[in-house]
Chains A and B, each alone.
Chain A
């Protein structure tokens, strides 16, 4: 085969690969620079673009620039109609492809088949990972994406939780919501059920809310992709009421019921708009009003969840919290300690094993966190951390072994966020305070030598509060970035083990997109590949220039 023929054969695959590279480079590098470094990022983009431009001679430059712009236009154009109903997507896509081909033939002057292949490959890439989520590829691979399947504005971000999967010991099942699609005759079946003995409570409201109800679903890896099915009741029983029921709390109340063996959820306003307005017009009673609404909504939601699942008091390592006492049995020794706590975070090692042989129970009360010693030490309150009105302590707290010593510190999402350590003399020491008000810790990936702290952090050189995902190590009193993912809508992040018992995965909900994602640290270094691709593109340009002897 002659080299000319080989070149002709390879030309189309190379151009297709180039179009994919251009799309990824724009998403992973140029967008990242701009979001991280603001104005300086734009300067960086300009500099890299100019270097690219002048790496090619005049004739090549024209083709490269036009084809690059064509590829980017295709990648950015496809998502514009992706959210439409399927029939419209098909119609719009056909029209889009026709116009793109006309534009391509006129502008880029390349064979129609090659342009068609470029469009097809970019489309497939965006079906694999939607353009809006492509930025996660800089560190993660997308294992699973799920959608609510509803434009209901009452759920801005889909609740997600993980529970141990009874069929796969050591692995988790994702529990989330999907919009319920009523089928013909379903309302009649529910009405028939209504008249029968043992009909679930709340069924009448569920019929009224049929269009606005949600199926509670479990997501597990199957033989071919992921399997979405109704989770076993034992899985749901393992979750607290607020795991997936806390939607717009305390202004809406979640209701759960078992319909034909499947778990259904719907929402109702906790107080009607008139009652809420009366609260706003009565500031003298507002604190009591909202406290009452919060307590009532939580009590109702817990009752709804417990009635469905048969779940009782939350028990952690044999300990329960009730009526102002932490009680139960720990290490075979009875425990009963009076506490201000109302919620049990769990049992964590907050102090070294040299000081206390067993770990401690950590609880949250009204704007405070308490640490309680457990047997064999005498059970008692060891330390209390109090919040303020301006920096309230909510349960927005992450436990992390930041130093790799086996002792956990508190990553507290006050404003600003802080890392706090309980010292051996039982006082609190602040290890780190965020310089940015919008910085928040999300979860941790446990690892030797110090946990990897997953956080949402604003850009480096921008006053905007917009946050992007990042992984940090706490070293020398600073947070040292290990990766950044320039996706600004990732909320409700959990460390889970859905597909791997050893590699931690990130389960997240995408705010305002009604989407959930399961992310796994990528085995393919996409970021290094696209950066290397840039170097290669520049090198090829210079080599062609030198070989042809073309002056700039």
Chain B
């Protein structure tokens, strides 16, 4: 029955257990979140007032670049893979992931990739400073830190592809008898679709950065106009990856909202089938809208119109999802524990980000919004307001199942409210800054922008400060606390709530039957 498990360091190095690996993903992700968060504080501190006070422009550019790379590739993506590792086997009634050894490997690539990226900051010439989009020709100019970044992207890409293969094979092969595809929990559905997005888009990014590497060192001219190349080609290839990437960050969050809201509304998810189709439609559309990130490069009229119309279309399936969540809440019997606060707050802030996204899709208006703080506000509303809020919700929702202990509800709610206030104080005024004409990625600004920048900086310090409450609550819950029941939540439905809390090391050694 019970196997011998190595203990101590060996347990974590050699583990093939989905729960251990899920835990490691989450610990890694939140460590990176702390690092990326500190970088955002450097940025916000410099922008507190006009003039250069704290850092040099070159270092400022490294901070904006590495902050973005760390938060996207180091925090949000691994954190959702961690959730997938913990939850997918439990939610589909499987004993573990389909490819446990590969699971170990896809995690253990990450710390090395993260270290490589951090090391770039200490190289001569510093880390990457051309923005996370690493557009050439600027990215051809950088020092060896840029090469470190390219290799980091390769490593992270390999890890993501391996993780995705594992998730797809687990979901397609290891579902309990009776669990047809259309009976799967929405979180599992979202991850199945996300995994396909990853497999289709990451190799494209790998191609783009490899071309960049050979342009930098091996005399090719893919992106050099003087050598017959095309700088705009990089942008097309990058965003062919980049736009699906946006949904890679947010689809699992949609899955989380679709788990939490029915539980606390004590009412089944509204429009399950339309949720599945909406998610698949968003995934499909994500591959034909990429050039809306680059309306100002001077595309032919037909291109500008095509990308404007296709981008606007995304509002339809996204709207369907939001309306479905609202209808799930409608005439339910709601309570507002911490996970529900995050889910409702997340739907609210994500909708703001979605609507500013709709505004950005309108090409002539985008000419004004493009590369301003309006864009910065927009993507923080979707990535923090959507993805990160869902992550916090998911952790409070499932933490009792993972640890067997209830968390401190009062502190959980305090963390939510402080983050919610701090987040909106940071990013809502940035909409106005962008509309008034403040470009993004500048270390200093003219006096007209000073007011809202002060608000934004104060909000950022409040937001990051509030996260220490989260770390404290999570740590205390892992260590001990009130015992959690099997069901944990009164309205919870799904296989993970049929096993003990904490869930046994191997969850379903005999498959449960799903009616």
Do A and B interact with each other, yes or no? no
Interface residues of B (CB under 8 A from A): none
Interface residues of A (CB under 8 A from B): none
